[in-house]
Structure 1
């Protein structure tokens, strides 16, 4: 169960340009019979006319769809969070390369990028298969 509450009464007190509303999202779930509650606070520049509670919930779902679909894979399968590169363009370049890697791994079929990674670890020559496009020639 999720409950989202919004308010505008804090807008004047926040030193945040263009604040439209503040919200509190409370989610409840059961894991192994034990109830857990997570509370998340957020700020948006969208007014209540631009984004009612249902629209804010849609935005939240979309955010987690991206997080679970791409970022989680990069974090867990490719260990992106362990990367120590932080300066210049290198972090963006590496993120782009990881996105290409995830795309290629998912294109291999299988159940997940993690499963494809395990398969390639066991059979490294399979990593070259996507590079042999139909109509290409090799010696």
Structure 2
């Protein structure tokens, strides 16, 4: 006789990720900075989403996330934007950057750099 198996599909999502934090988001496709994005993860850990004032929100399915990298600064060619980002937070830009690597395969990868206000926020368990 087969043994009953209790499959626990819910992985606990830390409260701080559900509540969210404010990040600056660099869009590499448009070379634009989206300020004051509230970034959250849903309670089941299926989606990460962000929204800033005056813009539509965006959603990324967690199953498409390949990697989350700390310390990978965004590729910004405009020195004014770099100076602005450095002045908006404490600590170096590299220490505050969280880059979400996502895509449907391992060849076509999208990088979404999120810059926290301080290094401690960037290091929240991800």
TM-score normalised by structure 2 residue count? 0.25
Structure 1 or 2: more helix by fraction: 1
Structure 1 or 2: more strand by fraction: 2
Give the structure, 1 or 2, with the largest relative contact order (CA under 8 Å, sep 6 or more).
2
TM-score normalised by structure 1 residue count? 0.23
